[in-house]
């Protein structure tokens, strides 16, 4: 029993708290605000039964952690993955508070999900699991209280089920004032054009800001991607549009390599026909998964799970930039080594902020009962990320610190000001 618990833990909570405490020290964060932000506001754990296709009942465990809402409603994704536990939900909720504050959004941070391997269930089972989870969460979520979105293994379809269940429980006249209980919905159900690609597009927007700052060209650069889900695919799509070349990809099924480049569109078509897995892709060779981060390349884009770049593989890294599409992919000890070697890291709360920024525009679109155009959305996204990148680089100069700590400082200052102005009730 004990070994199982240890095995399940991702160690992300420890990581986020180390990052937070370091930034709080560097900026000398107000002591009271530090105490408030060191703990989560609410932690909801639900156990709910669902009838499977074979007629048997299974009980699932779901989580929603609400870290902080000083700047606005709790905001953040729902993840369906076996590693989801209370520590992972806590860590991911805390990262959302920093991410929304850094982007200047009127949101706090929340995160949750179900401890489940969704591959083991049919579509109709996933629909029932999702609807029953939404029922179990009840009024703990809401369009002006806590707004979930897609994350690992969840997508627009799952958001549509959540939204449909949630609005169906409201009086008929309240349907459209509850639609924005989730973001990342399909466009036909109130979703935002471009929200599907917002995170990957944003990852590439921050890489463009990095290239401009360092006087580098993206064209001709080689890059590797860990995770070929929504974030990994769209990041690759936009990198290739800029003339970069993807030489290795890793997902849960395989690690594949081709020095001449792997075409993201071809790989996506292959994966779609292969249950989502990249294993067996004909235009690449399969390689040992342990050697993935050691592949010779200019840019590495972790776009899967947390704690992937660790002391075990950090010394093998060849890239000169790590662009964190995932949440928490680099652990604190490994990052220290990267910085000594002069490898740049665009930290997760900046690099993957495009997702929640896109969510914010979807939320506004729903509140205003409008339909926004994709070009408009993508240009707003790019502008916001450029501003966050600049704020981070400026804070790094001012405090003579690394970009992650600087991004935290920008976020924490916003929270500190709010608490100082408003005081603490009563
Ligand atoms: N799951 C995404 C993230 O980690 C998006 C969250 C959102 O849009 O609320 O940032």
166 lies in the same domain as 229:
no
Are the C-beta atoms of 352 and 199 separated by less than 8 Å? yes
Residue 282 forms part of a structural domain: yes
Question: DSSP secondary structure string, 315-345?
Answer: GG---SEEE--SSS-B-HHHHHHHHHTT-EE
Q: For the chain, what is the domain count?
A: 2
Ligand 1 mutation target, pool 162, 199, 200, most atoms within 8 A of CB: 199
With a cut of 70, say whether residue 1 has pLDDT above it.
no
Residue 320 structural domain? 198-351
pLDDT at 86: 96
What pLDDT, in 10s, does the model give residues 233-246? Answer: 999 999 999 999 99
172 lies in the same domain as 261:
no
Which of residues 351, 370, 394 is at a domain's end?
351
Residue 203 forms part of a structural domain: yes
Which of residues 117, 148, 179 is at a domain's end?
179
Mean pLDDT value of segment 414-420: 97
Least confident piece of the model among 96-110, 171-185, 396-410: 171-185
CA angle 229, 101, 20 (to 5 degrees): 85
Element (H, E) at 346: strand 344-346
pLDDT at 173: 86
Mean pLDDT value of segment 298-323: 97
Ligand 1 atom nearest to 148, measured from its CA: 9
Ligand 1 mutation target, pool 76, 110, 407, most atoms within 8 A of CB: 76
User: Is residue 9 classed as helix, strand or coil in its secondary structure?
Assistant: coil
**Percent over 70 (pLDDT), the chain:** 98
Closest CA to 177 of 165, 168, 167: 167
Q: What is the mean pLDDT of the chain?
A: 96
172 lies in the same domain as 212:
no
Residue 161 forms part of a structural domain: yes
Distance 328 CA to ligand 1 centre (A): 13
147 lies in the same domain as 6:
yes
Higher pLDDT, 360 or 9: 360
Q: Whose CA is nearest to atom 6 of ligand 1?
A: 76
With a cut of 60, say whether residue 373 has pLDDT above it.
yes
Ligand 1 atom nearest to 151, measured from its CA: 1
The CB of 154 under 6 Å from ligand 1? The reply is no
Distance CA 164, CA 161 (A): 5
The CB of 100 under 6 Å from ligand 1? The reply is no
Ligand 1 atom nearest to 79, measured from its CA: 1
Mean pLDDT value of segment 27-40: 98
139 lies in the same domain as 264:
no
CA angle 207, 212, 218 (to 5 degrees): 55
CA angle 29, 76, 8 (to 5 degrees): 90
Residue 412 forms part of a structural domain: no
With a cut of 90, say whether residue 425 has pLDDT above it.
no
Task: Give just the sign of the alpha carbon dihedral 101, 159, 155, 378.
Answer: negative
The CB of 354 under 6 Å from ligand 1? The reply is no
Residue 249 forms part of a structural domain: yes
Say how far residue 167 (Cα) sits from the centre of its chain.
26
CATH of residue 292's domain is: 3.40.50.720
234 lies in the same domain as 325:
yes
17 lies in the same domain as 160:
yes
With a cut of 60, say whether residue 3 has pLDDT above it.
no
32 lies in the same domain as 79:
yes
Mean pLDDT value of segment 236-257: 98
Which of residues 305, 320, 351 is at a domain's end?
351
Residue 304: both structure tokens together:
């899967």
Residue 399 forms part of a structural domain: no
Closest CA to 345 of 296, 396, 304, 420: 396
173 lies in the same domain as 207:
no
Distance 95 CA to ligand 1 centre (A): 10
CATH of residue 53's domain is: 3.40.50.10860
The yes-or-no answer on residue 111 being catalytic is yes
Question: DSSP secondary structure string, 184-248?
Answer: S--GGGTPPTTGGGHHHHHHHHHHHHHHHHTT---TT-EEEEE--SHHHHHHHHHHHHTT-EEEE
Residue 117: both structure tokens together:
């391997």
CA angle 272, 114, 334 (to 5 degrees): 80
Ligand 1 atom nearest to 358, measured from its CA: 8
Residue 32: both structure tokens together:
């009271």
Confidence of residue 341 (pLDDT cuts 50, 70, 90): very high
Least confident piece of the model among 46-50, 77-81, 176-180: 176-180
147 lies in the same domain as 203:
no
With a cut of 90, say whether residue 252 has pLDDT above it.
yes
For residue 40, what are the CA distances in angstroms to 145, 205, 265, 418?
A: 15, 31, 41, 17
Strand partners, 221: none
What pLDDT, in 10s, does the model give residues 270-309? Answer: 999 999 999 999 999 999 999 999 999 999 999 999 999 9
- Active site residue: 75, 111, 185, 384, which one? 111
Task: Give just the sign of the alpha carbon dihedral 125, 128, 133, 134.
Answer: positive
Are the C-beta atoms of 50 and 57 separated by less than 8 Å? yes
Mean pLDDT value of segment 385-411: 98
91 lies in the same domain as 222:
no
Confidence of residue 9 (pLDDT cuts 50, 70, 90): low
Residue 415 forms part of a structural domain: no
**Percent over 90 (pLDDT), the chain:** 95
Residue 124 forms part of a structural domain: yes
For residue 114, what are the CA distances in angstroms to 81, 164, 181, 312?
A: 7, 19, 18, 29
The CB of 108 under 6 Å from ligand 1? The reply is no
Distance CA 305, CA 328 (A): 7
Q: Whose CA is nearest to atom 9 of ligand 1?
A: 76
143 lies in the same domain as 225:
no
The CB of 94 under 6 Å from ligand 1? The reply is no
């Amino acid at each position: 029993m004990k070994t199982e618990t240890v095995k399940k833990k991702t160690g992300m909570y420890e990581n986020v708290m180390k990052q937070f405490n370091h930034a709080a020290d560097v900026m000398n964060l107000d002591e009271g605000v530090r105490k408030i932000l060191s703990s989560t506001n609410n932690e909801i754990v639900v156990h709910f039964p669902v009838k499977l296709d074979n007629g048997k009942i299974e009980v699932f465990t779901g989580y929603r952690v609400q870290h902080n809402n000083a700047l606005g409603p709790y905001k953040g994704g729902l993840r369906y993955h076996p590693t989801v536990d209370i520590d992972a939900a806590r860590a991911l909720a805390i990262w959302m508070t920093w991410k929304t504050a850094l982007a200047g959004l009127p949101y706090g941070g929340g995160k949750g999900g179900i401890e489940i391997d969704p591959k083991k269930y049919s579509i109709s089972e996933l629909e029932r699991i999702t609807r029953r989870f939404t029922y179990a969460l009840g009024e703990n979520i809401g369009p002006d209280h806590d707004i979930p979105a897609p994350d690992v293994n969840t997508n627009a379809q799952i958001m549509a089920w959540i939204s449909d269940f949630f609005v169906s429980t409201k009086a008929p006249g309240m349907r459209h004032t509850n639609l924005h209980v989730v973001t990342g919905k399909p466009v036909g159900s109130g979703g935002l054009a471009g929200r599907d690609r917002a995170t990957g597009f944003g990852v590439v927007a921050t890489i463009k800001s990095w290239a401009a700052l360092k006087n580098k060209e993206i064209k001709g650069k080689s890059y590797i991607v860990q995770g070929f889900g929504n974030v990994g695919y769209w990041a690759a799509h936009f990198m290739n549009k800029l003339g970069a070349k993807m030489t290795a990809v890793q997902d849960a099924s395989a690690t594949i390599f081709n020095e001449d480049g792997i075409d993201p569109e071809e790989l996506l078509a292959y994966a779609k026909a292969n249950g989502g897995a990249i294993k067996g892709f004909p235009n690449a060779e399969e390689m040992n998964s342990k050697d993935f981060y050691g592949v010779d390349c200019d840019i590495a884009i972790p776009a899967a799970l947390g704690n992937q770049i660790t002391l075990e593989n950090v010394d093998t890294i060849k890239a000169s930039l790590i662009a964190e599409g995932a949440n928490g992919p680099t652990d604190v000890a490994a990052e220290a080594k990267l910085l000594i070697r002069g490898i740049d890291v665009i930290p997760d709360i900046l690099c993957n902020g495009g997702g929640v920024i896109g969510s914010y525009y979807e939320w506004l679109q729903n509140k205003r009962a409008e339909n926004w155009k994709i070009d408009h959305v993508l240009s707003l996204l790019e502008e916001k990320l450029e501003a966050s990148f600049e704020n981070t680089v400026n804070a790094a100069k001012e405090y003579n610190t690394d970009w992650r700590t600087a991004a935290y400082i920008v976020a924490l200052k916003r929270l500190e000001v709010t608490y100082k102005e408003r005081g603490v009730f009563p």
